[in-house]
Homo-oligomer: A and B are copies of this chain.
């Protein structure tokens, strides 16, 4: 903060923007709200809002998340800072610096357009284009970050309910990465990672759809995956 005591400073508006993801029927969805006013009236945008004077960005993000999803308890949800977007001109009205967050939800309560948004809705990722402001880019950055974190962290369980099958966990990876994974290999890898998942002791089995019932698991205490679960490297980079 060398310029701290010498230069005059200009005030900025500070907002949070939320890239909220969930899985519905094995497809990655993002939460979007329809704007009611100019600029970008009628366009879809990420939920978010101003940071209040007594809040940190994290606190504001969690408050907005609760307002927008209609969930009464968002304390256990995964919420993580993505990055801050501060280009001049990203908001046509004034100078706005926005701290973007990524949130992951296990199930998808139908979004009630809480707060002040006209309406909120879960949209399959990729089917919404031309969002307001620079929200297309924020959403893409968030998805990329989530995909990368699946490789070396236990983040995937944040998409799952408290008890889940390994098939559901695999669907998280497949939906976010957009690649099918080998079932037996995925199973072996997950079970070999200490602390990733732990079996639910009771003779617990679940019948969701067709095939053989699957054993239930809970998220384990581990936060990181050692060694990581890597996406197939697209191609070797040529020298």
A contact residues vs B (CB 8 Å cutoff): 1-7, 9-15, 17, 33, 35-37, 45-58, 64, 67-68, 81, 83-84, 86-88, 95, 97-99, 115-117, 132-133, 152, 194-195, 198, 220-222, 226-228, 230, 233, 236-239
Contact = CB atoms under 8 A, between A and B. Distances in A.
Could you tell me the dominant secondary structure of chain A's interface residues? loop
A53 B228 contact: no
Contacts of A152: 152, 228
B56 A2 contact: no
Contacts of A55: 88
A239 B220 contact: yes
Nearest to A93: B4
B195 A2 contact: no
A195 B116 contact: no
A8 to B, nearest CB: 8
B15 A13 contact: no
Contact of A222 (B7, B10, B45, B237): B237
A50 B15 contact: no
Given A2-B115, A13-B9, A47-B2, A194 B37 contact: no
A199 to B, nearest CB: 10
B88 A48 contact: no
Given A3-B50, A49-B7, A81-B83, A239 B195 contact: yes
A238 B220 CA distance: 10
B14 A12 contact: yes
Contacts of A57: 84, 86, 97
Contacts of A133: 1
Contact of A88 (B3, B13, B56, B115): B56
Contacts of A56: 86-88
A65 to B, nearest CB: 11
Contact of A49 (B2, B83, B95): B2
Contacts of A58: 86
B237 A194 contact: yes
